[in-house]
């Protein structure tokens, strides 16, 4: 029986697994961590000042926190807290168009 050689790395699987955590550590080391306090300030700015320009920064901060893997528990708590907050500054037209896209209506 002839063993076909693949185009991928010819190292045994066990050797390639050893390097994966190091690569992940290197990537997370390059990402600057965002503290709980910084993220809360960004979110409060969005809610209190109706600052829609803050949304990209909030998303970037959340992604950095996910990549770092340091805030899994606190982010879950933060999400629960945010889901309880009422959003007063939602424009009716935006809400209605999103609702109509997601649900059939008689109109």
pLDDT (tens digit per residue) in 47-66 = 888 888 898 999 999 888 88
Residue 65 lies in a domain: yes
Contact status, residue 85 vs residue 43, Cβ threshold 8 Å:
no
Residue 83: band (very low, low, confident or very high) from pLDDT cuts 50, 70, 90: confident
Using CA atoms, how far residue 100 sits from 20, 88, 103, in Å, is: 45, 20, 5
pTM: 0.51
Residue 19 lies in a domain: no
What is the count of structural domains for the chain?
1
Residues spanned by the domain of 36: 30-85
The reply to whether 69 falls in a domain is yes
User: Which residue, among 18, 17, 28, 16, has the nearest Cα to 68 in the 3D structure?
Assistant: 28
Would 74 be classed as within a structural domain? yes
In a domain, 59, yes or no: yes
Q: Is residue 52 part of a domain?
A: yes
Residue 21 forms part of a structural domain = no
Cα–Cα distance for residue pair 96/70, rounded to 1 Å? 38
Residue 39 domain-assigned (yes or no): yes
């Amino acid at each position: 029986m002839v063993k076909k050689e693949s185009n991928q790395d010819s190292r045994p699987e066990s050797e390639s697994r050893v390097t994966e955590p190091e690569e992940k550590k290197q990537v997370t080391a390059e990402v600057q961590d965002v503290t709980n306090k910084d993220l809360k300030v960004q979110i409060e700015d969005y809610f209190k000042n109706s600052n829609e320009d803050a949304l990209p920064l909030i998303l970037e901060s959340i992604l950095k926190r996910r990549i770092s893997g340091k805030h899994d528990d606190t982010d879950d708590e933060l999400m629960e807290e945010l889901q309880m907050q009422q959003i007063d500054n939602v424009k009716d037209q935006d809400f209605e168009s999103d609702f109509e896209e997601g649900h059939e209506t008689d109109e």
